């Protein structure tokens, strides 16, 4: 049950991001699947570690900030309405959007003691 929920969480995270918001895999990654596997295995290590909840949230946030371009996601979420924002509003929005993504996904990942990711392909 937990493995299925973890899989659903990861799929939702991937689907929530527009295609241009996922940072391309480094050139040394064998495949996109290998890149995802590396990121998720690092996430599993963080979740299973002995750090405090806040330390885990911070570590996962850093990890996923390398993987997801939340600024691109935020601009995509604003769509045509973003042009009506002042520069100050745009500057304020992107960090708030980043925090929303972190709270919605990163903290949910911490609900699992030892997430078990299943890879297809």
Which residues, in sequence order, are bridge partners of residue 64?
Answer: none
In-domain check, residue 121 = no
- Residue 106's CB: how many other CB atoms inside 10 A? 23
Per-residue confidence (pLDDT) for residue 116, from 0 to 100? 75
Domain that holds residue 37: 2-109
Tokens, residue 28: 């040394």
Mean pLDDT in the chain?
77
In-domain check, residue 119 = no
In-domain check, residue 26 = yes
Counting residues of the chain whose pLDDT is more than 70, the rounded percentage is 74
Q: pLDDT of 73-84, one tens digit each? A: 998 998 989 889
Question: At residue 45, does pLDDT exceed 80?
Answer: yes
In-domain check, residue 60 = yes
State pTM to two decimals: 0.62
**How many domains is the chain built from?**
1
In-domain check, residue 120 = no
Instruction: Give mean pLDDT, residues 14-38.
Output: 64
DSSP 3-72: HHHHHHHHHHHHHHS-GGGBPPPPTT-S-HHHHHHHHHHHHHHHHHSSS-HHHHHHHHHHHHHHHB-HHH
In-domain check, residue 91 = yes
Position with higher pLDDT, 117 vs 74: 74
Three-state DSSP at 27 gives: coil
Question: Do 42 and 63 form a contact (C-beta atoms < 8 A)?
Answer: yes
In-domain check, residue 84 = yes
In-domain check, residue 44 = yes
**How far is it, in rounded angstroms, from Cα 29 to Cα 112?**
27
């Amino acid at each position: 049950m937990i493995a299925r929920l973890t899989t659903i969480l990861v799929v939702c995270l991937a689907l929530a991001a527009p295609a241009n918001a996922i940072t391309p895999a480094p050139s040394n990654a064998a495949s996109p699947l290998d890149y995802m596997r590396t990121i998720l295995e690092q996430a599993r290590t963080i979740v299973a570690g002995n750090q405090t909840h806040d330390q885990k949230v911070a570590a996962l946030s850093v990890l996923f900030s390398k993987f997801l371009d939340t600024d691109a996601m935020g601009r995509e979420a604003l769509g045509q309405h973003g042009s009506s924002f002042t520069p100050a509003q745009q500057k304020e929005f992107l960090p708030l959007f980043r925090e929303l993504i972190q709270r919605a996904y990163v903290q949910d990942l911490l609900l699992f003691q030892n997430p078990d990711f299943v890879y297809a392909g």
